[in-house]
Amino acid sequence: MTDDLSALQAETDAALAACADLRAWDAVRVGVLGRNGKLTALLRDLGKTPPEQRRDRGAALNRLKEALTAAIEARRGALEAAALDARLAAERLDPSLPPRPRAAGLIHPISRTMEEMAAIFGAMGFEIAEGPDVETDWHNFSALNIPAHHPARDDQDTFYLTAPPGSPPPVLRTHTSPVQIRAMLGRGVPLRVIVPGRTYRADHDATHSPMFHQCEGLVLDRAITLGHLKGCLIDFLRAFFAVPDLPVRFRASYFPFTEPSMEVDIGWDRKSGELGKGADWLEILGSGMVHPRVLANVGIDPREWQGFAFGMGVERVTMLKHGIPDLRPFYESDIRWLRHYGFNPLAPTMLHEGA
């Protein structure tokens, strides 16, 4: 390489090393490779070179051009990387800072339980029936074989509404059973429904609330027996509490609207509260074969149709399943309680993802 080329090489290397940013770098680039750049000028002057030297000098100039171009590009890469590093350093954020708040909402445990009931009974072919909270005396009592003088009415602590003169006062339904009557009249037989809903009794203490929730169930068909009652409820209880071998006990009892009637107990350990363990029994729901009078009151011939009904307290099974100790906070809307016991709205209640 001739001296002038070596000098350009050295001069350019030095200038590149000296440039601190892309602007300085660009000046170097233009000064060498630009239209008026030094290398461009040398190339332009190649024609003035004597012909016998032209070939060698041309080759040398091309080598120099490649070398300078590579050096200039390399320097640019280095400067860009440095610039990015500097920017990233300047943009650093304290990752431990709290993000923009997004409030988490939740589903009340009572709704959650009702959805689970719908999922499990739904898998057994039940539909959901509904009825009004304000009921007629006939739907709530008489049609269910609870006449006016019946001692069971004393036990019910009924809320009455202010009656128009001359007619029996409507009641706040004391149980979800009146929807049995509505379902039988409205849908006819055969029938498989559950009725989760609000119920009311004039009772207020640590273990009673004037408003609470029940889930009624009714199955009517031609050949439904007491064995099906047992099977259906055992299947439900074991699925709901997720205890596959949950002990379930049936004992004779009395309700005016079923015969035979039975209380259903589940096995638990009274001390630890563990379900399915221990030697104690816990009353969990009432059930029975639908009373012939109830069927006859809605025009269903008990010689043709038979079946069973049951009713359980939604709060009670919710408290048991989730170990919630007190009843009253269910209705107090204390946001701290709701956040503690509430459920994520995206947690499914579908059986295949675990009700």
Partner 1 sequence: MKFTLSWLRAHLDTDASVAAIGEALTRIGLELEGVSDRGATLAPFRIAHVVEAVQHPNADRLRACRVDTGAGIVSVVCGAPNAHTGMKAVFAPPGSFIPGTGITLKTGEIRGVTSAGMLLSAREMGLGDDHSGIIELPADAPVGTPYAAWAGLDDPVIEIAVTPNRGDCFSVRGVARDLAAAGIGTLKPWAPAPVPAAFAAGPRWRIDWPEACPWILGRTIRGLRNGPSPRWLADRLTAIGLRPINALVDVTNLFTVDLGRPLHVFDVAKLSGDTLVLRRGAGETFRALNGKDYAVTAEDCVIADAAGVQSMAGIVGGEATGCDETTTAVFVECACFDPVRVALSGRRHQVVSDARQRFERGIDPALMPDAVEAATRLILELCGGEAGTVTAAGAPPAWQRDATMRFARLAAFGGAEVPADEAVGALERLGFVVRTRDAAQVTVAVPPWRNDVAALGGPALDQDPALDPAVAARAAEGCALAEPECDLIEEVLRLRGLDTIPAVSLPYAAPVPLPTLTDAQARAARARRVLAAQGLAECVTFSFMAAREAAVFGPTPEALRLANPIAADLDQLRPSPVATLALAAAGNAARGLPDLALFEVGPAFASEGQHLVAAGLRAGATPRNWLAPSRPVDAMDAKADLFEALAALAVPMESLSVTADAPGFYHPGQSGVVRQGPKLVLGRFGALHPSVLGAIGLAGAAAAFELFLDAIPTPKRRRRAPPDLPPFQPVRRDFAFLVDAAVPAETVLRAARGAERSLIAGVALFDRYEGGTVPEGKRSLGIEVTFQPRDHTLAEAELEAAAGKVVAAVAKAAGGVLR
Interaction residues for partner 1, span 109-148 (CB under 8 A):
110-111, 115, 118-119, 121-128, 130, 132-134, 138, 142-143, 145, 147-148
65 forms part of the interface with partner 1 (CB under 8 A): no
Q: What is the nearest approach in angstroms of partner 1 to the Cβ of residue 44?
A: 45
Residue closer to partner 1 (CB basis): 25 or 310: 310
What string marks each residue from 151 to 170 as x (binds partner 1 by CB under 8 A) or -? xx-xx---xxxxxx----xx
Tell me which long-range contacts 24-30 makes (C-beta under 8 A, separation of at least 24).
25/72, 25/75, 25/76, 25/79, 28/72, 28/75, 29/72, 29/76
Three-class DSSP category at 283: strand
Write the DSSP assignment of 182-237 as a string of letters: HHHHHH-SSEEEEEEEEEE-S--BTTB-SEEEEEEEEEEESS--HHHHHHHHHHHH
Compute CA distances 165 → 160, 169, 241, whole Å: 14, 9, 48
| Piece of 36-44, 64-72, 271-279, 295-303 that binds partner 1 (CB under 8 A) | 295-303
| Piece of 22-30, 80-88, 219-227, 267-275 that binds partner 1 (CB under 8 A) | 219-227
48 forms part of the interface with partner 1 (CB under 8 A): no
Q: What is the nearest approach in angstroms of partner 1 to the Cβ of residue 122?
A: 3
Residue closer to partner 1 (CB basis): 58 or 169: 169
Distance CA 89, CA 209 (A): 61
| Piece of 13-21, 45-53, 271-279, 340-348 that binds partner 1 (CB under 8 A) | 340-348
The full length of the chain comes to: 355
Q: Which of 207, 296, 350, 354 binds partner 1 (CB under 8 A)?
A: 296
Q: Which of 11, 13, 26, 235 binds partner 1 (CB under 8 A)?
A: 235
Residue type for position 283: E
Tokens in use for 57? Answer: 């000098």
Question: Alpha-carbon dihedral of residues 148, 154, 155, 160, nearest 10 degrees?
Answer: 80
Q: What is the nearest approach in angstroms of partner 1 to the Cβ of residue 110?
A: 5
Residue closer to partner 1 (CB basis): 58 or 354: 354
Q: What is the nearest approach in angstroms of partner 1 to the Cβ of residue 281?
A: 9
Q: Which strand (E) or helix (H) includes residue 240?
A: helix 226-240
43 forms part of the interface with partner 1 (CB under 8 A): no
333 forms part of the interface with partner 1 (CB under 8 A): yes
Residue closer to partner 1 (CB basis): 25 or 200: 200
200 forms part of the interface with partner 1 (CB under 8 A): yes
Distance CA 283, CA 334 (A): 29
DSSP 333: -
Residue closer to partner 1 (CB basis): 3 or 154: 154
Three-class DSSP category at 175: coil
Tokens in use for 344? Answer: 């994520």
What string marks each residue from 67 to 106 as x (binds partner 1 by CB under 8 A) or -? ------------------------------xxxxxxxxxx
Residue closer to partner 1 (CB basis): 12 or 287: 287
11: Cβ contacts below 8 Å, ≥ 6 apart: none
57 forms part of the interface with partner 1 (CB under 8 A): no
Measured from the Cβ of residue 348, the count of other Cβ atoms closer than 10 Å reads 12
| Piece of 48-56, 65-73, 79-87, 341-349 that binds partner 1 (CB under 8 A) | 341-349
* Angle at CA of residue 263, ends 210 and 212, nearest 5°: 15
Q: How many residues bind partner 1 (CB under 8 A)?
A: 112
Using CB under 8 A, which residues numbered 248 to 287 contact partner 1? 249-254, 256, 259-263
226 forms part of the interface with partner 1 (CB under 8 A): yes
